[in-house]
Chain A
Amino acid sequence: AQSVAQPEDQVNVAEGNPLTVKCTYSVSGNPYLFWYVQYPNRGLQFLLKYITGDNLVKGSYGFEAEFNKSQTSFHLKKPSALVSDSALYFCAVITRNSGYALNFGKGTSLLVTP
């Protein structure tokens, strides 16, 4: 089965500090990985994706993610967290077997405190 795992239910970080939200994947073949963010009572917003190419992917709102094939990881990072970054973050994988639909991790709640 093609899947992603987010090992942390919640991540707490102080404003101005770097943040990392973890994601590992388990897919056969090439992984096509995505990060989405969801603010309360809102739809999901696309942050970034890895399809092929550079392992460091830059996305919206200053976020970036590093694809690591040996560790099967795709962690989301930001050098300096903002209180407004507090939200629910989903890692996802697209698989051909699922008709190219997104298969999401369980989500990680990020809380940035002032």
Chain B
Amino acid sequence: DTEVTQTPKHLVMGMTNKKSLKCEQHMGHRAMYWYKQKAKKPPELMFVYSYEKLSINESVPSRFSPECPNSSLLNLHLHALQPEDSALYLCASSQDGVGYYEQYFGPGTRLTVT
């Protein structure tokens, strides 16, 4: 099973709201990633977790807060977002922590900030 699931599929939130995105994988992968993708552009890395520890934060604003409660689950907590944060948020995972492994992506959450 090479599936990464993400919920919700779509999310509309106001600039004062607090919401969370959820990502789950049951492949035993030990590295998980959050990417942000604007339309027709490549994904941009936000965060990397390796063995449930945050290993990379690509200078992401503090209104995005990642959390890795266990090896199968990755959350992205959202607060006080801006309209320019509207994008497709992709979660990915790879085996055995970080390394030269292919990453498997979820279908994404389409976020609209109003």
Q: A101-B45, A106-B41 are in contact. Are A44 and B102 (CB under 8 A)?
A: no
Indicate if the CB atoms of B100 and A101 lie closer than 8 Å.
no
Judge whether A114 is part of the interface by a CB distance below 8 angstroms: no
- A100 to B43: give the CA distance in the assembly, Å: 15
The interface centre, meaning the residue of A41, A42, A101, A104 with most chain B CB atoms within 10 A of its CB, is A101
Of residues 95 through 114 on chain A, the ones whose CB sits less than 8 Å from some CB of chain B are 98-102, 104-107, 109
Judge whether A51 is part of the interface by a CB distance below 8 angstroms: yes
Indicate if the CB atoms of B108 and A43 lie closer than 8 Å.
yes
Which chain B residues have a beta carbon within 8 Å of chain A's beta carbons?
4, 6, 31, 33, 40-43, 45, 48, 55-56, 90, 92, 94, 98-108, 110
Which chain A residues have a beta carbon within 8 Å of chain B's beta carbons?
32, 34, 36, 41-46, 49, 51, 88, 90, 94, 98-102, 104-107, 109
